[in-house]
Amino acid sequence: MKIYYEDDIEMDVIADKKIAVIGYGSQGRAQARNMADSGLNVIVGVRSGGNSWNMAKEDGMNVMTIEDASREADIVHILIPDEIQATVYEQSIEPYLTEGNTISFSHGYNIHYGYIKAPNGVNVTMIAPKGPGAMVRRTYLEGFGIPGLVAVEVDATGDALDIALAMGKACGFARAGILETTFKEETETDLFGEQTVLCGGVTELIKTAFETLVEAGYQPELAYFETCHELKLIVDLIYEKGFTGMWKNVSNTAEFGGLTRRSRIITQETKKEMEKILEEIQKGEFAKEWTLENKAGRPMLKRMRELEVGLKIEKVGSKLRKLCGLEK
Ligand SMILES: NC(=O)C1=CN([C@@H]2O[C@H](COP(=O)(O)OP(=O)(O)OC[C@H]3O[C@@H](n4cnc5c(N)ncnc54)[C@H](O)[C@@H]3O)[C@@H](O)[C@H]2O)C=CC1
Ligand SMILES: CC(=O)[C@](C)(O)C(=O)O
Ligand SMILES: [Mg+2]
Ligand SMILES: [Mg+2]
């Protein structure tokens, strides 16, 4: 395991390079601004006249079409949604690549599953934050950063790793540490983490606990505060102090109850299901399912989004977040 920090990384390898950030969404806006604020020559490549174009202009970025940015740049950092990267790459990026260029990602998905293949002579690298775009920007401005992952799939120029690390340092990731990995390991662990814990698992856990209390007749507002709102405060303790530190900060009652009951909630059955989900990721079955969903116009995702918005916890939560000023 190799972790790189600020002092391990030289910036001169990209000091005179043009870096095109393709996409100006969660990661694109954050990483483009961080790299520009770190003194790099950043171009934002987005669709002409769209919301991202206008936002990037308002942020004072050097904005071009994806084609022009890809033609102009030495490094093309692709930060558009995973499910459309292959199409946009084929139509608007690959035709403009030249020998010695680098294509760079913040998720290994399209390279790992073979949806994007780089031409000979082009580096393929990844510099990926382990956190959402908003936190990439916020922590950078606070003088710290989000931990990052770095990987090199193709090193055509002999300095692909140095290039990726310098980009990560410019984004602030080296302040927290950049861990060396592979496209395969990043892709499989990122998909697994977001499906079973970070996004999927945690919302199902909260939703189920909230519904259990409400169906038992408790006030929905109290159920929301107990099972959702307070979770951030507990996770912040784990983030800062680990399990042991968190247990030290809650009551002995909570500690005894939590330690004796948690394995009745996340059971051996749960572990078996996690192993099955990981296998689906490793075999490419999830990627195939996501590709088919997009080809069909995302019917399942649209339906699930409608159901999510209609959840009781969303209605109760929105009311309470507005009352305390968290939500506009
Ligand atoms: N969202 C996150 O916090 C994280 C995302 N990533 C990775 O970063 C990459 C970018 O993800 P996000 O920033 O979440 O994407 P996003 O969904 O926020 O990107 C939206 C942006 O992509 C562009 N875009 C959207 N549709 C387009 C189209 N059809 N043609 C051309 N441009 C289009 C627009 O500029 C738009 O603002 C992905 O590979 C993702 O897996 C990695 C770590 C965390
Ligand atoms: C924020 C992040 O790291 C995720 C959950 O992997 C993602 O947005 O894809
Ligand atoms: Mg992730
Ligand atoms: Mg992800």
Amino acid at 310: G
Write the pLDDT tens digit of every residue in 48-99. Answer: 989 999 999 999 999 999 999 999 999 999 999 999 999 999 999 999 999 9
Pocket test for ligand 2, best of 110, 186, 194, 290 (most atoms within 8 A of CB): 194
Please tell me the predicted confidence (pLDDT) of residue 23.
98
Query: Which residue puts its alpha carbon closest to atom 34 of ligand 1?
Result: 23
Q: Where are the domains of the chain?
A: 3-181, 198-266+298-324
Ligand 1 centre from 127 Cα, in Å?
A: 14
Reply yes or no on whether the pLDDT at 28 is more than 90. Answer: yes
The annotation places the binding site for NADP(+) at: 24-27, 47, 52, 133
Here the ipTM equals 0.98
Please tell me the predicted confidence (pLDDT) of residue 8.
97
pTM score: 0.96
Q: Which CATH superfamily is domain 3-181 in?
A: NAD(P)-binding Rossmann-like Domain (3.40.50.720)
Write the pLDDT tens digit of every residue in 108-155. Answer: 999 999 999 999 999 999 999 999 999 999 999 999 999 999 999 999
Ligand 2 site residues (CB inside 6 A) read: 131-132, 190, 194, 198-199
DSSP secondary structure code for residue 286 in this structure = H
Reply yes or no on whether the pLDDT at 1 is more than 90. Answer: no
Write the pLDDT tens digit of every residue in 177-227. Answer: 999 999 999 999 999 999 999 999 999 999 999 999 999 999 999 999 999
What is the per-residue DSSP string for 184-196? Answer: HHHHHHHHHHIII
Strands 41-45 and 178-180, by their bridges, are: unpaired
Taking residue 320's Cβ as centre, other Cβ atoms within 10 Å add up to 17
Residue-averaged pLDDT of the chain: 97
Angstrom CA distances, 81 to 29, 43, 182, stand at 13, 18, 20
